[in-house]
Chain A
Amino acid sequence: MNLITSAIGQGLLWGLLGIGLFLTFRILDFPDMTVEGTFPLGAAVSVTAIAHGVNPLLATLLAFGAGMIAGLITGLLYTKGRIPILLAGILVMTACYSINLRIMGTSNVSLLGKQTLFSTKFLTSLPKFFDSVFLGMLIIIVVVALLALFLQTDLGQSFIATGDNEKMAKSLGINTDQMKNMGLMVSNGLIAVSGALIAQSDGYSDVNMGIGIIVIGLASIIIGEVVFGELTMNQRLIAVVCGSIIYRFVLLLVLKAGFGTNDLNLISSLVLALCLMLPTLRNKFQLNRIVERGTAIPSKERNENE
């Protein structure tokens, strides 16, 4: 039971990473490698701030700001500097490694005995592991609600259109560069917050905690899509969080099966590769009716056409 609660709590905290990545990977439709730098950046900023006596909430907000700045730099390199997005992300991610070491002063900072978001009276009064479930749920609800609302505004629609068809968006007067920068900023801000939460939950920040992060984020997105199929935009945001939780359960099973934590990155990549290949495998073995995938054209519509 404890393990299940813990998995749900972790899944929610990590879910923010999935949602952040969803904004770039699915809506803007490009892979943003910056996340491998902004996740530990969020951890480094918040943990260092807390270690210096800053209020944990403020420290988490600082992480959000730091993530946004990193996202903006990637965005400017991409939109103004005309560097391909993959490379722009890798540049900022690499730079972040040094920045994170600078911020923390060492490769690992512990929060032992410090006040974190998890040490509020109410959260500590909850049964074991329920603190992260509660806090994670609260943050996810706020973030998903705000994002859902945002995507329904004129600006949000322009943001979606930019990822969907950039040429059209431009021809309608949408400043697509601005939309990409905005997306990268919010995305990396959220991912930094996710890093800050995970660090506070784990009780330490490590400069290497960003390695493989993008795979975990992508796994949440893809698992959500594979499991829940065709959804509206708002439902997709929730599907990402569910995907993140399911992914934690997968890891739990893997650990139960006797693999060590050192094997997790390998397992993560395997899980993601399998999910990504599912559409191809499905076509090959004609599993169409058994598995429905998230990004496919809705079959209902197609039948109407025929």
Chain B
Amino acid sequence: MSNPIILELKNVTVYVNRHTAEEIKILNNVNLIVRKNDFITLLGSNGAGKSTLFNVIAGNLAIDEGQILIDGKDISHLSEEKRTKFISRVFQDPKLGTAPRMTVAENLLLATKRGERRGLHLRQLNQHMEDFKKITATMPNKLSERLKTPTGNLSGGQRQALSFLMATIKKPDILLLDEHTAALDPKTSAELMEATQKRVTEDHLTAMMITHHLTDAVKYGNRLIVMKDGQITQDLNANEKAQANIEELKIY
């Protein structure tokens, strides 16, 4: 039995310097099916096309050929802003995920309305404080004590934890994690990975995660994809992944 398909990429190709002598395909005829509750880890060397794949799914990079479907709907030409209704994302750089001059609570409040119309209603921050307290308490780094702190004053680990919460506070159809623990120290990184795993399982999220940690890639998730030169070269399911040996993967 398999879960329904959430995301589908059909023959997606992206060129740079198209129609010139230096034409390169940074994504080359990629086909991918993501099913509900998949937690896919994505491996590949720099320039393999992992981030390009995420940019294409999230909509900040237009595709030249092919189709992207979410829940069977073609979203290939939907703007990045509109796609946020379905897709949320955590970036590698802690600075990118949060608004530095706004407080933790204000950031969370913005995220509760991801992909929605924002009108002239009063924001009602205080009514949300209870919830925010609870949800931040699930993260490491004492984030729950810093709700009224501008995020610019948080540590990198706290900011990434917050970015992750912001991406999941309103349940996305697909969660894209772009090396979201890479900028953190080993301990903080491990804590955030644990929290990620917990949240993805408990909330039955569908997620894709880029990582350069081979151990993380093998340990987490139920599927492992390896990319090279803009193509998906390996797509291992949970069983195959369990048998895959780290040494073998190193050749990617």
Asked whether B152 lies within 8 Å of A173 as measured between CB atoms, the reply is no
Asked whether B81 lies within 8 Å of A175 as measured between CB atoms, the reply is yes
Asked whether B122 lies within 8 Å of A172 as measured between CB atoms, the reply is no
B98 at interface (Cβ–Cβ under 8 A)?
yes
**Across-interface contacts of A172 in B (CB, < 8 A):** 84, 110-111, 113-115, 166
A170 at interface (Cβ–Cβ under 8 A)?
yes
A54 vs chain B, min Cβ distance (A)? 30
Give Cα A289 to B228, complex, Å.
55
Task: Specify which of B81, B84, B106, B152 is in contact with A297 (CB 8 Å cutoff).
Answer: B152
B235 vs chain A, min Cβ distance (A)? 27
Take A153-B120, A155-B119 as given contacts and tell me if A301 and B149 are in contact as well, using a CB distance cutoff of 8 Å: yes
Give Cα A156 to B102, complex, Å.
12
Count of chain B residues with Cβ under 8 Å from any Cβ of A? 38
A107 at interface (Cβ–Cβ under 8 A)?
no
Task: Specify which of B91, B110, B155 is in contact with A157 (CB 8 Å cutoff).
Answer: B110
Query: What are 13 residue pairs bridging A and B, where the CB atoms are less than 8 Å apart in the complex?
Result: A157-B110, A157-B118, A160-B101, A160-B102, A165-B96, A168-B97, A169-B110, A170-B80, A170-B81, A172-B113, A172-B166, A173-B113, A301-B149
Q: Digitize B118-130: 1 where CB-to-A-CB distance is under 8 Å, 0 elsewhere.
A: 1111110000000
Asked whether A173 lies within 8 Å of B115 as measured between CB atoms, the reply is yes
B→A interface (CB under 8 Å): 58, 60, 80-82, 84-85, 88-89, 91, 95-102, 106, 109-111, 113-116, 118-123, 149-150, 152-153, 155, 166
Asked whether B98 lies within 8 Å of A165 as measured between CB atoms, the reply is yes
A234 at interface (Cβ–Cβ under 8 A)?
no
Asked whether A305 lies within 8 Å of B153 as measured between CB atoms, the reply is yes
Task: Specify which of B91, B96, B97, B116 is in contact with A173 (CB 8 Å cutoff).
Answer: B116
A60 at interface (Cβ–Cβ under 8 A)?
no
A259 at interface (Cβ–Cβ under 8 A)?
no
Residue in chain B with minimal CB distance to A233: B101
State which residues 111-154 of A face B: CB under 8 Å.
Answer: 149-150, 152-154
Residue in chain A with minimal CB distance to B88: A171
A251 at interface (Cβ–Cβ under 8 A)?
no
A191 at interface (Cβ–Cβ under 8 A)?
no
A77 vs chain B, min Cβ distance (A)? 20
Asked whether B150 lies within 8 Å of A152 as measured between CB atoms, the reply is no
Give Cα A170 to B118, complex, Å.
13
A161 at interface (Cβ–Cβ under 8 A)?
yes
Asked whether B81 lies within 8 Å of A168 as measured between CB atoms, the reply is no
B146 vs chain A, min Cβ distance (A)? 9
Count of chain A residues with Cβ under 8 Å from any Cβ of B? 28
Asked whether B58 lies within 8 Å of A154 as measured between CB atoms, the reply is no
**Across-interface contacts of B119 in A (CB, < 8 A):** 153-155
B49 vs chain A, min Cβ distance (A)? 20
Give Cα A305 to B142, complex, Å.
12
Asked whether A173 lies within 8 Å of B153 as measured between CB atoms, the reply is no
A302 at interface (Cβ–Cβ under 8 A)?
yes
Across the A-B interface, the 4 shortest Cβ-Cβ residue pairs: A173-B84, A164-B99, A173-B115, A154-B118
A32 vs chain B, min Cβ distance (A)? 19
State which residues 149-200 of A face B: CB under 8 Å.
Answer: 149-150, 152-158, 160-161, 164-165, 167-176
**Across-interface contacts of A161 in B (CB, < 8 A):** 99, 102, 110
Take A154-B113, A171-B84, A171-B88 as given contacts and tell me if A164 and B122 are in contact as well, using a CB distance cutoff of 8 Å: no
**Across-interface contacts of B111 in A (CB, < 8 A):** 172
User: Given A167-B96, A297-B153, 12 more contacts at CB 8 Å?
Assistant: A154-B113, A155-B118, A155-B120, A164-B101, A165-B96, A170-B84, A171-B84, A172-B110, A174-B81, A175-B81, A301-B150, A305-B155
A170 vs chain B, min Cβ distance (A)? 6
Give Cα A301 to B148, complex, Å.
10
Give Cα A301 to B82, complex, Å.
36
**Across-interface contacts of A154 in B (CB, < 8 A):** 113, 118-121, 123
Give Cα A179 to B89, complex, Å.
21
Asked whether B99 lies within 8 Å of A173 as measured between CB atoms, the reply is no
Asked whether B82 lies within 8 Å of A171 as measured between CB atoms, the reply is no
**Across-interface contacts of B166 in A (CB, < 8 A):** 172
A159 vs chain B, min Cβ distance (A)? 9
Asked whether A301 lies within 8 Å of B96 as measured between CB atoms, the reply is no
Give Cα A234 to B9, complex, Å.
47
Take A158-B110, A169-B99, A173-B84 as given contacts and tell me if A302 and B153 are in contact as well, using a CB distance cutoff of 8 Å: yes
**Across-interface contacts of A168 in B (CB, < 8 A):** 96-99
